[in-house]
Amino acid sequence: MQTSIRIQDIRTLFRAREIVSRLAVEGLDSAIEAARLELVAMKGRRQYLQEILPTTVAHAVPNATETFVVECKGRRRFHLQGGTMPLLWRLRQLELRHGTQAVKIIHRNGCGQREYWL
């Protein structure tokens, strides 16, 4: 089955090309990294995470039916489930304790899973 492309998708790609060009880097991955570094320097890591994650995910508390896998640089993975602290707090705590940086959150619930790139 082929995914249909929408006008919104091509507009997003045009905007991405514009941003890559403005950042004067080669490729989308380099542009993402440059933009991320600039935003973290400007806002701080906690504020960046709070804004990049959907509010419902940032403030979710991992439990038996709603779990999170945190993928960090170097492909390290941490599974978060149970506890009383919201994901955002647990995420920062994990980054500081292990001296690493999360790059992706995988949110699993009873209906499936979603990925959020950081």
**Range 66-76 burial, b when 16+ CB lie within 10 A, else e:** bbbbbbbeeee
Rounded distance, CA 53 to CA 26, Å? 26
Q: Report whether 29 contacts 40 (CB < 8 A).
A: no
| Per-residue pLDDT tens over the stretch 6-61 | 889 889 989 988 888 888 888 888 888 889 999 999 999 999 999 999 999 999 99
Q: In the chain, where does DSSP find H-type helix?
A: 7-23, 28-43, 45-52, 55-58, 87-98
Same domain, 65 and 99: yes
Structural domain containing residue 85 = 44-118
**92 & 104 share domain:** yes
**What is the reported pTM?**
0.81
- Tell whether 55 and 82 lie within a shared domain: yes
Q: Are residues 93 and 80 in the same domain?
A: yes
Number of domains in the chain: 2
